[in-house]
C-alpha cells in the first residue's frame, strides 16, 4: 500500500534548489559493510518514509512511500527496490576515481556526484532516491562513508539523528515524519 505524506510549502518551494545534506566521513579499518547493510535495513523498517520519492499529487508535491515494510532484512531490497532505485551501499576502489588527498580538497564531491542525492526539484516525479549511503574503500585499512539525504525531507538535526543510528552504540528508533500543518 502506498502512503503519501504532505510536506510544508517551504519544503517544496524554498528547498527545491537546495543541495542535499551530505557528509563524507573518513575511518580507519575495514568497512563494516554487512553491519551497515543490516543497520540501514533496521532504520528503514522503523522509518519507511526514508524509502520514498517526491511525487506530485493534487497539484502539490508529496512524499510517496510504501506503508507495508517489505523485506528490509536483506541488502537485496536496496539493490533492486522497484521504482525507487535506492542506492545504499556501493563498495568500490576509490582510487579509480581520485586519491585520498583529492578527497580532502574542497572540490572532492565532483567525481562522486552520482552517489549524492539530487536537489529537490530534480527529484520530483523522477523516481530519484532521497537517501543514499555509499562506502568508499580507500585502502585495505581505510574507508569513508558518503551519506546523503534530501534537504527537502529532513533538516540538519534529523540528518544527524539518522546518521547516529548507524553507530553500534545507538539503537535505531522510529521518527515522526508527519508534518503538523496547523503550525504553518
Q: By the 8 A CB rule, do 149 and 117 touch?
A: yes
DSSP state string for 32-74: -HHHHHHHHHHHHHH-GGGSEEEEEETTEEEEEEESS---TTS
- List all residues 6 or more positions away from 63 whose beta carbon is below 8 Å from its beta carbon: 4, 5, 7, 49, 52, 53, 54, 55, 130, 153, 177
Residue 6 has a pLDDT of 79
State the pTM of this model.
0.78
Cα–Cα distance, 97 to 115 (Å, whole number)? 12
pLDDT means per 10 residues in the chain (184 residues)? 76 75 90 85 86 86 70 43 37 52 62 84 86 82 87 88 95 82 66
Residue 13 has a pLDDT of 67
How far is residue 166 from each of residues 33, 94, 179, measured CA to CA in Å?
11, 22, 25
Q: By the 8 A CB rule, do 136 and 96 touch?
A: no
Residue 108 has a pLDDT of 59
Residue 98 has a pLDDT of 57
The backbone torsions φ and ψ at residue 137, rounded to the nearest 5 degrees and listed phi first, read: -85, 115
The backbone torsions φ and ψ at residue 172, rounded to the nearest 5 degrees and listed phi first, read: -65, 140
Amino acid at each position: 500500500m502506498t502512503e503519501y505524506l504532505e510536506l510544508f510549502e517551504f519544503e517544496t518551494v524554498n528547498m527545491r534548489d537546495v543541495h542535499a545534506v551530505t557528509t563524507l566521513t573518513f575511518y580507519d579499518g575495514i568497512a563494516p559493510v554487512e553491519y551497515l547493510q543490516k543497520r540501514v535495513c533496521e532504520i528503514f523498517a522503523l522509518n519507511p518514509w526514508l524509502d520514498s520519492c517526491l511525487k506530485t499529487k493534487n497539484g502539490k508535491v508529496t512524499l510517496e512511500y510504501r506503508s507495508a515494510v517489505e523485506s528490509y532484512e536483506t541488502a537485496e531490497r536496496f539493490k533492486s527496490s522497484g521504482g525507487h532505485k535506492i542506492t545504499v551501499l556501493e563498495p568500490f576502489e576509490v582510487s579509480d576515481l581520485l586519491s585520498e588527498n583529492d578527497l580532502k580538497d574542497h572540490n572532492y564531491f565532483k567525481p562522486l556526484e552520482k552517489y549524492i542525492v539530487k536537489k529537490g526539484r530534480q527529484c520530483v516525479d523522477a523516481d530519484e532516491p532521497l537517501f543514499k549511503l555509499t562506502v568508499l574503500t580507500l585502502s585495505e585499512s581505510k574507508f569513508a562513508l558518503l551519506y546523503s539525504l534530501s534537504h527537502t525531507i529532513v533538516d540538519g538535526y534529523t540528518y544527524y539523528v539518522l546518521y547516529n543510528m548507524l553507530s553500534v552504540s545507538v539503537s535505531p528508533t522510529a521518527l515522526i515524519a508527519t508534518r503538523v500543518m496547523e503550525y504553518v
